[in-house]
């Protein structure tokens, strides 16, 4: 838009031709938006469930990742369409809030859009559809509330938590070792959980990847792990009841800030200088010894001479510890970061039950474990695996399992998986639809159909006949009034998900329904798309 003046000085506005903009209106806009969003959902559909497939994503710079996690897949896809990007955000908000169910939420939103598309073809106004979906979502969540079961998270040595974590892990790369991984996740979360406030601080759980070994070597360390080793190969590898001096000053003679030259003209002078240097080192080591420290963590390097003296003084030391690790050690062990040797004293030392060096395979790579720290309950899950890709995917899977356990600590309620909860809600929503007299009835019924798409996808991905599997589950739920009947993906011989021990958290399922409905409503309300011509 620009302002111009005619020959009499009267202003007028020139509006740039709108032809240069691409514009979609009305039904065309709805259709195009729905098609874009559905493309994302159909990509994720085959990844849903215990028999879901993985996707290989290759970044522009050639980095390859293989994953089954919905949020990661959509994050790594190169998506241009603005409505498709809404689906990406949908998966990510489920990830941020709940951490699990990121594939399911997108597949469900896709199914809702598919249903909306059919209703638009029938001539229903998108706003009516949106209102109907809203109503149906309320009914579904109310039904979910009814069928949700409260669990005792302490029961049978936290068995229920382990089973819930195992359900989350069953579709992931770690599924073969899911019992072990679930146990690690439960132990990790419970060791940092504040059960009174029903809260878990994930900052205290460090997931450390280390390529090499196999997934079975993944383990939980009750403390922190740093990628360092002792500064001298002959130093002790294990310090019990460690008293740690945490230093940010180097074991080197002080250096003047400005340039100075020392002229050494005789052997005597040289000897004197050498002795002076030795003196510095000795004083430094003495300061450490006097403070009562039995291990040194230093942010800087040591002179070889200092290293040797430390070894002689029986003081194991670690050099070049990164700034963040220094802070972590200080926080966990309750020590103070000391910038000068003279300031070291016993009360500034950090305490831990055990500091030890561990070694991996034949690669000669070492790490330092600081266990049972005095101040914090921080734990580390050391994730091992044959390749970078496996380790990264295992990390994402363990994160999902951690999230499931955290959610159960926050709200100890579960619903059964395998599509059973969706079928139960779908049946109720269908019944309620008959009671609605307006045209919204169609949208409510469509919502019920969309709910069935989750068990459908699970059956499809497991090589079962989806129509048969879902019809069977619906019939059994009705005849046995049992909302736990779902799809037997693993062919265990029972449709009852309680017997199969397939649980999901109530929080996650509720959030899936609500988030998907919100996004679909938003997409349905867009009737005009104005974009610059490419």
Q: Which residues bind ligand ADP (CB under 6 A)?
A: 47-50, 52, 68, 70, 100-104, 167, 170-171, 417-418, 454, 458, 487, 489-490, 500, 502, 504
Instruction: Decide whether 208 or 472 has the Cβ nearer to ligand ADP.
Output: 472
Phi-psi domain of 160 (left: phi exceeds 0; alpha: psi -120 through 50; beta: other): alpha
Query: Which residues make Cβ contacts (< 8 Å) with residue 495, sequence separation at least 6?
Result: 472, 473, 476, 485, 486, 487, 488
Instruction: Decide whether 353 or 498 has the Cβ nearer to ligand ADP.
Output: 498
Closest separation in Å from C-beta 423 to ligand ADP: 11
Closest separation in Å from C-beta 229 to ligand ADP: 38
Closest separation in Å from C-beta 56 to ligand ADP: 16
Instruction: Decide whether 115 or 505 has the Cβ nearer to ligand ADP.
Output: 505
Catalytic residue positions, numbered: 69, 102-103, 400
Measured distance CA(378)–CA(443) in Å, rounded: 49
Residues 132, 137, 140: CA angle, nearest 5 degrees: 125
Measured distance CA(510)–CA(145) in Å, rounded: 9
Instruction: Decide whether 330 or 403 has the Cβ nearer to ligand ADP.
Output: 403
Closest separation in Å from C-beta 116 to ligand ADP: 21
Closest separation in Å from C-beta 228 to ligand ADP: 36
Q: Which of 528, 529, 525 is closest to 128 using CA atoms?
A: 525
Measured distance CA(402)–CA(409) in Å, rounded: 11
Closest separation in Å from C-beta 44 to ligand ADP: 8
Kindly write down the DSSP assignment for every residue of 317-380, as one continuous string: EE----HHHHHHHHHHHT--EESSGGG--GGG-EEEEEEEEEEETTTTEEEEEEEEESS---EE
Closest separation in Å from C-beta 502 to ligand ADP: 4
Output the CA torsion sign for 169, 170, 171, 172: positive
3-state secondary structure 462-504: CCCCHHHHHHHHHHHHHHHCCCCECCCCCCCCCCEHHHHCCEE
CB distance 116 to 129 below 8 Å = yes
Q: Please identify the residue of the shown chain whose CB is closest to the bound ligand ADP.
A: 417
* 481 phi and psi angles, rounded to 5 deg: 35, 55
Reading the block at residue 387, the tokens are 């390749």
Query: Which residues make Cβ contacts (< 8 Å) with residue 497, sequence separation at least 6?
Result: 416, 417, 418, 420, 484, 485, 486, 503
Instruction: Decide whether 65 or 244 has the Cβ nearer to ligand ADP.
Output: 65
Relative to beta strand 295-298, strand 238-247 is: parallel
Q: How many CB atoms lie within 10 A of CB 319?
A: 22
Q: Which of 524, 526, 510 is closest to 137 using CA atoms?
A: 510
């Amino acid at each position: 838009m620009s302002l111009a003046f005619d020959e009499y000085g009267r202003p007028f506005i020139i509006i740039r031709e709108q032809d240069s903009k691409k514009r979609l209106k009305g039904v065309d806009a709805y259709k195009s938006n729905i098609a874009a969003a559905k493309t994302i959902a159909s990509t994720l559909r085959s990844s849903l469930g215990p028999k879901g497939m993985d996707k290989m994503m290759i970044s522009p710079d050639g980095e390859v990742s293989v994953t089954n996690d919905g949020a990661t897949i959509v994050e790594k896809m190169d998506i241009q369409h603005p409505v498709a990007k809404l689906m990406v955000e949908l998966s990510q908000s489920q990830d941020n809030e709940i951490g699990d169910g990121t594939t399911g939420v997108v597949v469900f939103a896709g199914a809702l859009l598919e249903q909306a598309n059919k209703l638009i073809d029938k001539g229903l106004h998108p706003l009516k559809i949106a209102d109907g979906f809203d109503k149906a979502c309320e009914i579904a969540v109310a039904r979910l509330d009814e069928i949700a079961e409260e669990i005792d998270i302490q029961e049978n040595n936290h068995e229920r938590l382990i089973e819930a974590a195992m359900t989350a892990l069953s579709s992931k790369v770690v599924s073969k070792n899911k019992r072990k991984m679930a146990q690690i996740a439960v132990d990790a979360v419970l060791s940092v959980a504040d059960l009174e406030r029903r809260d878990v601080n994930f900052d205290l759980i460090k997931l450390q990847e280390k390529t090499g070994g196999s997934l079975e070597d993944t383990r939980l360390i009750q403390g922190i792990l740093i990628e360092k080793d002792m500064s001298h190969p002959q130093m002790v590898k294990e310090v019990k009841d460690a008293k740690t001096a945490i230093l940010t000053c180097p074991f080197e003679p002080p250096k003047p800030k400005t340039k100075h030259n020392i002229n050494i003209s005789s052997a005597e002078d040289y000897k004197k200088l050498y002795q002076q240097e030795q003196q510095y080192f000795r004083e430094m080591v003495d300061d450490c010894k006097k403070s009562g420290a039995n291990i040194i963590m230093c942010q800087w390097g040591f002179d070889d001479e200092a290293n040797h003296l430390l070894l002689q003084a029986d003081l194991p030391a670690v050099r070049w510890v990164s700034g963040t690790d220094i802070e972590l050690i200080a926080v966990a062990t309750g020590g103070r970061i000391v910038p000068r040797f003279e300031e070291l004293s016993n009360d500034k030392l950090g305490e831990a039950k055990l500091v030890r060096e561990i070694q991996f395979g034949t690669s000669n790579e070492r790490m330092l474990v600081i266990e049972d720290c005095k101040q914090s309950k921080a734990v580390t899950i050391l994730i091992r695996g044959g390749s970078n890709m496996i380790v990264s995917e295992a990390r994402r899977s363990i994160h999902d399992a951690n999230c499931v356990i955290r959610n159960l600590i926050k709200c100890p309620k579960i619903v059964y998986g395998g599509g059973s909860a969706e079928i139960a809600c779908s049946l109720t929503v269908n019944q309620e639809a008959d009671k609605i007299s307006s045209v919204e009835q169609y949208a409510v019924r469509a919502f019920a159909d969309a709910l069935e798409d989750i068990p459908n996808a699970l059956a499809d991905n497991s090589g079962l006949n989806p129509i048969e599997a879902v019809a069977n589950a619906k019939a059994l739920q009705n005849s046995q009034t049992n909302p736990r009947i779902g799809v037997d993906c693993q062919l265990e011989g029972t449709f009852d998900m309680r017997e199969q021990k397939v649980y999901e958290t109530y929080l996650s399922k509720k959030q899936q329904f609500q988030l998907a409905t919100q996004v679909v409503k938003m997409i349905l309300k867009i009737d005009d798309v104005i974009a610059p011509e490419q």
